Chain A
Amino acid sequence: MRLEKRAERSAAMALASPFIALGLTVVTAAIIFALRGIDPLNGLYVYFIKPLTALWSVEQLLVKATPLVLIGAGLAVAYRANVWNIGAEGQLTAGAIMAGMIPVMLPNWQSPLTLLLMLLFGAIGGMAWGSISAFLKNRFNANEILTSLMLVYVVQLLLDWLVRGPWRDPKGFNFPKSITFTDWQMLPYITSGIHLGVVIALVMALVLGFVMTRTLKGFEITVSGLSPRAARFSGFSQQRTVMFCFLLSGGLAGLAGAIEISSVVGQLQPQISPGYGFAAIIVAFLGRLSPVGAILAGLLLALSYIGGEAVQTALQVPEKITRVIQGVLLFYVLACDSLINYRIAGLSAATHVRA
């Protein structure tokens, strides 16, 4: 079997690829369940279908999808420009620290402005953290994959130190946690289970979708990613694009961090995200590097989290299954994506004759 380059990229394959990948992931999951001695059909049902059958779990799905969609949409834009921000998890953490600073420092300040400022600080924190990698790339040509990834661990340790040290709740029985946030330090809920962050994520993804398809900035990003030389010919600066992408994707990750601590988590603690920043990489690819596609892909990845919890409680499968499924899914998406630009050519049956 050999891969042969197509003359044009296949639009059909670009759409079909995530579905083929999803199908293969389901098959793989079934095999994993079977190997553990679980009825594969039942396993798949508990993992992928059951969470969609009750209102409360659908609401939970939307809430879990919120950070994934926000970050995934930003990463989709960055990846379009060939800017490989792998450190969204760190930018999320930086955003949470910046946002959490307000209730920690001013616990008694309660006004709608409090929440607004927390969200803004969150975005600024993520932008600042992301801009480090952009600066290092522009100034020293340092590989942004490495710097952004390594900075994740730096900021996670910073958060760890903060909540164990200066920001620890004095009345918290020495647990490594900040004070719990209240009232206007928390996002309002629209329904019993859905908070305002869900709407923010949806709007952001749609706005980015518009930016990418209708504006000059979107064109600049697309061209920079496809052909840096042509981008220069078009008058676009590569360095500016790198900085813009890190500010955008970092800012959205930071916003997601602010939303998480002001909704689901409600305080600062060493762990504020079960790896949303990394799972969002899968969201970006699964969503065809399109911000709007990231909405659907974010929902699917959210399902993988919730399904993982479900099989853990119902079938005693370790929750690490979530990471396995997510990893397998990304693997298949990338594999199937190669078929967008290549087709499989049959091995030539001709015999091999040497003169």
Chain B
Amino acid sequence: MTVPLLEVQDIVKVFGTLKANDNVSLAIMPGEIHAFLGENGAGKSTLVKMIYGALQPTSGNMRWHGKPIKIQNPAEARALGIGMVFQHFSLFDALTAAENIALALPEAYDISGLSKRITSVSKDYGLLVDPHAAVGDLSVGERQRIEILRCLLQKPKLLIMDEPTSVLTPQEAGQLFIVLRRLAAEGCAVLYISHRLEEVMSLCSAATILRHGKVVARLDPRRETAASLARLMVGAEVAPVKSVAVAAHSAERLVLQNLSLAADGAFAVALRDISLSVAGGEIVAIAGVAGNGQGELFDALSGERRLTRDQMLRVDGQAIGKMGINGRRKLGMAFVAEERLGHGAVPELNLSSNMVLTRHASDAAIARGMLVHMDQAEIAKERIVKNHDVRKGKIDPEARSLSGGNLQKFVMGRELDRNPGILIINQPTWGVDAGAAAAIRQAIVDLSRLGSAVIVISQDLDEIFEIADRIAVISRGQLSEALPASELTRESIGLLMAGAHEETSREKNHAA
């Protein structure tokens, strides 16, 4: 038997009282695409950061080609031949692709020579990237290709990919898989982190599954089903969302009419001529690849950025485009932002103070006149914690100390608790484990069936098909017509994501 490329043995990593990794062992063979599966918070990122030298294990050891090693920092990892593509890219928007790549290389390069090398490697692998393009102008898929190229130029023996397809269209993901298979065929091992089980089953030849910091299974994913993998990840069956047949649609509650909003900064997206209407009892999902105007649309709907004309947004017949966020809340609207920490909640404040954050205008018990009633905020917090199963260590901890899933349950619960007539959610289950995600989706469906209008902005097609009545796709700030979910397929949505519905194609099409 050949010696594994990388062997991780009995790694333990402790953060305070939390054992993030508990005797984790993992072996990756050369040329293998190895899936690393687990729910959010299972400890995947922790282990990967230790392999990449960004964290040091509390105990345990690693072997590289059979020799014991200690990786003190990412530079050492790169010197060994370990490359990593992060979920959140580390590129400078204002620099070109070539300049960004040059920054990461250990030795000095002249840009023109490097550009030639980039072009040749990128052609070779089918990773088309223009070395002279400013990164800020590129799509997320293109940015990811730059990150991959940056690793490839250093001839890695092990490539770590952290949730690479979460930002890609299905078509772009397909292209990525071709590149990864080719790399594997050339002997480069890939450690592939994902929670998309179909991908893992088709791409990977080995898998290690982590749950609560411990390895629960090592198996060949090609011989498993999505259900069996999910069971191992979660440790229990995940209940499917129960959806009652849609009640006869009531009147339109939320209407966007030719909503346009200029871009707020050089790398933001302008919203162009968006029209959409959502009836009570209906869930409309907005699909799209990250960075196509989802955040901007959310800000426009919430009133964090006011619109230029009142008629652009009507709620229950009232034109409120110029109204601010608290005025909209008073009309029964509720908002759940994508970024939980630092947008939907203040990381350093405890949960009851975070109750005040979105409730002070609409909830007379919590804030009346100039005074804040923290005792009332605490009562409301307790109710939400109980109803939505928010798990926490202390009675009233700081928001940042909660895990992503529990904080998401809290910020969702905070809005659901108001029984909003209109709910706008950006990425409802981003980074949330399967069990919590199912609970959140169920809560969204239940709310809509009581007559509320719901808009869900999501990049997760599985989620969209699970809960949406109608689906629209946003691409470069334009929204396609919302069609009944039953008339759409992943493929047709993928085409819309890539911009098939855009009326004008003034912009250069960078896509390969």
Give A contacts to B, CB under 8 Å: 6-9, 214-219, 222-223, 226-227, 229-230, 232-235, 348, 350-355
Contact = CB atoms under 8 A, between A and B. Distances in A.
B346 A353 contact: no
A229 B339 contact: yes
B357 A234 contact: yes
B367 interface: yes
B400 A8 contact: yes
B325 A8 contact: no
B347 A226 contact: yes
Interface in B327-371: 329, 335, 337, 339, 342-349, 353, 356-358, 360-361, 367, 370-371
A355 B68 CA distance: 8
B345 A230 contact: yes
A225 to B, nearest CB: 10
Given A7-B16, A219-B360, A353 B69 contact: yes
Given A216-B372, A219-B356, A235-B325, A353 B349 contact: no
Nearest to A234: B357
Contacts of A232: 304, 325
B360 A227 contact: no
B349 to A, nearest CB: 7
Contacts of B356: 219
Contact of B360 (A9, A234, A351, A354): A234
A304 B314 CA distance: 62
Contacts of A223: 346, 349, 357
B232 to A, nearest CB: 29
Nearest to A222: B349
B29 to A, nearest CB: 18
Top 10 A-B residue pairs of the complex, sorted by shortest distance between their CB atoms: A235-B326, A227-B346, A235-B325, A229-B343, A355-B69, A234-B357, A230-B346, A227-B342, A215-B370, A226-B346
Contacts of B72: 352
The majority secondary structure among interface residues of chain B is mixed
13 contacts: A7-B15, A7-B16, A7-B401, A215-B370, A216-B371, A222-B353, A229-B342, A229-B343, A233-B344, A235-B325, A350-B70, A354-B69, A355-B64
Given A219-B353, A354-B76, A355-B64, 14 more contacts: A7-B15, A7-B400, A216-B360, A223-B357, A226-B349, A230-B342, A233-B302, A233-B304, A233-B343, A233-B344, A235-B326, A350-B56, A352-B70, A353-B70
Contacts of A219: 353, 356, 360, 372
A234 to B, nearest CB: 5
Given A216-B360, A219-B353, A219-B356, A233 B337 contact: yes
Interface residues of B, number: 44
Contacts of A222: 349, 353
A214 B372 contact: yes
Given A229-B343, A233-B358, A9 B348 contact: yes
A353 B68 contact: yes
B398 interface: yes
Nearest to A6: B16
Nearest to B344: A233
A233 B336 CA distance: 10
B347 A227 contact: yes
A217 B367 CA distance: 11
B67 interface: yes
Nearest to A351: B70
Contacts of A354: 69, 76, 79
Contacts of A226: 346-349
Contacts of B348: 9, 226-227
Given A352-B72, A354-B76, A235 B339 contact: no
A223 B353 CA distance: 10
Contacts of B56: 348, 350
A304 B88 CA distance: 50
Interface string B66-98: 011110100010011000000000000000000
B357 A233 contact: yes
B431 interface: no
Contact of B80 (A217, A235, A355): A355
Nearest to B303: A235
**Most chain B beta-carbon neighbours within 10 Å: one of A226, A352, A353, A355:** A355
Given A214-B371, A216-B371, A233 B361 contact: no
A11 to B, nearest CB: 10
B397 A8 contact: yes
B435 interface: no
A223 B342 CA distance: 10
Contact of A355 (B67, B343, B347): B67
A235 B335 CA distance: 12
A230 B344 contact: yes
